[in-house]
Structure 1
Amino acid sequence: MSNMNFSKIKYITLLVVAVLSTSSLFAQDAKAKKLLDEVSAKVKSYDNMFIDFKYGLSNEAAGINQETRGDVTLDGDKYKLNLMGTMQMYDGKKLYTIVPEDEEITISTQNPGDDDAITPSKMLTFFNEGYTYKWDIEQNVSGRKIQYVKLVPMDSNSELKSALLGIDAQTKHIYRLIMTQNNGSKITITVNTFKTDQPLPGNLFTFDASKYSDYYINELD
């Protein structure tokens, strides 16, 4: 797999886990902070989470309008993500990126304390700094009250123009994240199914090399 493709998968992982596991932000809007603190407390109360979601990418000027689905299982620092024909699994030490189409696996050592580590625990603080935010619109989605918080990066060089984080006001679960980039692209992640504290197989986050005997394995470190 090329470095460009690997970086793209890491970036998508960052976006996906951010929408599913966001934390409280730097206090700028009292109502927004209270709501986000409630979301954070709810997320942290679960032993594990399974989320099925829809991922959309659009850019009107470029004629792009794509949709796909994905799912992720989160258990502490460990996670297993399926998206765009690629599976990513983090077992607490190593990150495995498995691409069946290319019959290729990339393995890298990850440390949750490293700045570049792509893990759910790091994603919990993804929006902790670097953004301004405020209370935004409210929508009714099939009888559910979805309250949005708008985020704008403080870094003027950021590729992200703004983001809207939609929260179910009753359950305090993330429902949707809409990210608008400066190049006109819009990424939308919508949660279809959210399950918590499920019985998980003991080997769910264990990499079994015998299943991939025909694959090319690229160990980055």
Structure 2
Amino acid sequence: MKKTVILGTLLLGLSFMSVAQSTANSIGKSDPKAKAILDGVSKKLQSLKSLVANFVLKIEGGSGNNVMDSQKGTVYVKGSKYKVTMADREIICDNKTSWTYSKDVNEVTVNTIDQNGQSMTPAKLFTNFYDKDYLYRLLGETTEKGKVLQQIELTPVDKSKNVFKAMVDVDKKAQTIVRMKIFEKNGNRFTYEITDLKPNGAVSESLFTFDAKKYPGVEVVDLR
């Protein structure tokens, strides 16, 4: 699995993750029950000053359901700024500039943030992004480890996207996303499971800037 694919999907669905589209989706309407749940999650997240979450990313190939790879990571979010750390890379954004650091080659790629871009970022989970870019419906409720989870299916309005569906599980009582599973047209599946979530934790502003001095010999690829 190429790392660039993993990175792109991480930005699309972090955080926290039916073959045919539903009748509601096919006519371009979303389920008001699902909207109420997503609005509740969005409202709670926007009320937080900061957020630190540990997650596990599981990657499945298109040929079967066996897990091809599993990675642990942590995401730090403060307003529109975020940092994602994983075993092989770091992704940092201060809402103006993004830095993607690849540990194995000691290289960082620098980009300017497109404020009108359609790609998903951890910070966008603090907004009602779903109203514009996705159609959604409530599939039902299940119970896991004593928690009632509400499962919502999201499908992108733009059908040209490589991702054709995402399944989001929301903790009904806590109003937080505990799992998101992303489905690509090529058969790949990416599941993000939140293992620990700390609201309003101490998050330093220095986390959201890449300091090259802390990475001796780093090669900088500036694409701005």
- TM category (shorter chain) comes to 0.7 to 0.9
**2:34 matched to 1:36?**
no
Deviation at 1:114, TM superposition (A): 3.1
Aligned to 1:9: 7
Taking the aligned partners of 1:134 and 1:116, their CA distance within structure 2 comes to 21
Deviation at 1:213, TM superposition (A): 2.8
**2:161 matched to 1:168?**
no
CA contact (8 A) 1:50 1:73 kept: yes
**2:181 matched to 1:183?**
no
CA contact (8 A) 1:10 1:118 kept: no
CA gap of 1:186–1:118, structure 2 versus 1, over 3 A, is closer
Equivalences, count? 211
The letter for the 1-side match of 2:207 is L
CA contact (8 A) 1:54 1:67 kept: yes
Deviation at 1:60, TM superposition (A): 5.3
Taking the aligned partners of 1:206 and 1:177, their CA distance within structure 2 comes to 27
CA contact (8 A) 2:151 2:167 kept: yes
Cα deviation per residue 1:141-176 (whole Å; 9 max; x = unaligned)?
A: 110111101122344433233221100000000011
Aligned to 2:78: 75
Taking the aligned partners of 1:199 and 1:47, their CA distance within structure 2 comes to 10
Structure 2 segments unaligned to the other structure (5+ residues): 18-27
Aligned to 2:155: 152
Deviation at 1:46, TM superposition (A): 0.2
1:1-221 equivalences in 2 (<5 Å): 9-17=7-15, 28-59=30-61, 61=63, 65-111=68-114, 113-115=115-117, 119-123=121-125, 124-221=127-224
Deviation at 1:137, TM superposition (A): 3.0
Higher RCO (C-alpha under 8 Å, 6+ residues apart)? 2
Q: Let me know the Cα RMSD of the aligned residues.
A: 2.5
Taking the aligned partners of 1:152 and 1:176, their CA distance within structure 2 comes to 16
Report the more deviating stretch, 207-216 or 165-174: 207-216
Structure 1 segments unaligned to the other structure (5+ residues): 20-25
Taking the aligned partners of 1:151 and 1:116, their CA distance within structure 2 comes to 15
SS of alignment partner, residue 92 of structure 1: coil
Cα deviation per residue 1:38-86 (whole Å; 9 max; x = unaligned)?
A: 1111110100000101111112516662211111000011111013511
Report the more deviating stretch, 97-106 or 127-136: 127-136
Deviation at 1:8, TM superposition (A): 5.3
